[in-house]
Amino acid sequence: MNNEHPLFANNRSWVRAVNASDPGFFATLSRLQAPKFLWIGCADSRVPANEIVGLKPGEMFVHRNVANVVVHTDLNCLSVIQYAVDVLNIDDILVVGHYGCGGIAAALEGQRLGLIDNWLRHVQDVMRRGEQLLEPLTTVTARQRLLTELNVIEQVANVCQTTMVQGAWDRGRTVHVRGWIYDVADGLLQDLSMCVGPGDDVGVLQRAAALAAAQRAMERSVRT
């Protein structure tokens, strides 16, 4: 059992490469973290948060779970948001979904995978609320893509409704919560036109972003 796990060799060569390009990197980082962004994304292995946006360790605070869901009673996610907003003073919160998400597909198709089914009930709630928008789409892929977008838009609203973000806005902080989507097929991020800041009406923005997403989905389905 003394065989070293192969990832330790990977780690050492990564450290060598970082030190070669930036000798003071670890010394600086060890003193403090001052990330400017909070990323809330999916746990999917194809969506490595920092890498996608070209940020180094120390530059982004990250929370990931299956299907990037923000649940009002999830102390894990809520604690991350609280620490990010109140302690790290982050004003830029990104909720990032991705096309080809297994969690979204499982929720849409009602697959039985085990315990995770209960977590994905939250995505099924999004699906039920977006039924009228999803229903006209004729292919599974089109519905999956739209549900992925609707889920991001709803999770942005959920972040906005937390006491941490509401409190930050009350104190005059300019916290913005944005909804983005990542395409594992081409590596590109897209903005879902769901960006909420102080004084904005979350419900109005959510409905507008959801309708715009449905409109794009219909246009895509006509083209293909």
User: Active-site positions?
Assistant: 42, 44, 46, 98, 101
What is the closest distance, in whole angstroms, from the C-beta atom of residue 104 to Co ion in the complex?
7
Residues of this chain, 31-70, that bind Co ion according to CB under 5 A:
42, 44
Stretch that binds Co ion, among 101-109, 111-119, 137-145, 168-176 (CB under 5 A): 101-109
What is the closest distance, in whole angstroms, from the C-beta atom of residue 150 to Co ion in the complex?
14
What is the closest distance, in whole angstroms, from the C-beta atom of residue 62 to Co ion in the complex?
15
Binding-site size for Co ion (CB under 5 A) equals 4
Give CA–CA dist 185/97, Å, rounded: 13
Dihedral (Cα; 194, 199, 202, 208), 10-degree rounding: -50
Hey, which residues does 63 pair with through a beta bridge? 40
**Residue among 101 and 165 whose Cβ is closer to Co ion:** 101
Q: Does 101 bind Co ion (CB under 5 A)?
A: yes
How many helices (DSSP H) and strands (DSSP E) are in the chain?
10, 5
Give CA–CA dist 222/224, Å, rounded: 6
**Residue among 42 and 177 whose Cβ is closer to Co ion:** 42
Q: Does 154 bind Co ion (CB under 5 A)?
A: no
Q: H or E element: which one contains 192? A: strand 189-196
Stretch that binds Co ion, among 83-91, 93-101, 110-118, 163-171 (CB under 5 A): 93-101
Spell 172-181 as b/e; 16+ CB within 10 A means b: ebebbbbbbb
* Interacting residue ranges for Co ion, rule: CB under 5 A: 42, 44, 101, 103
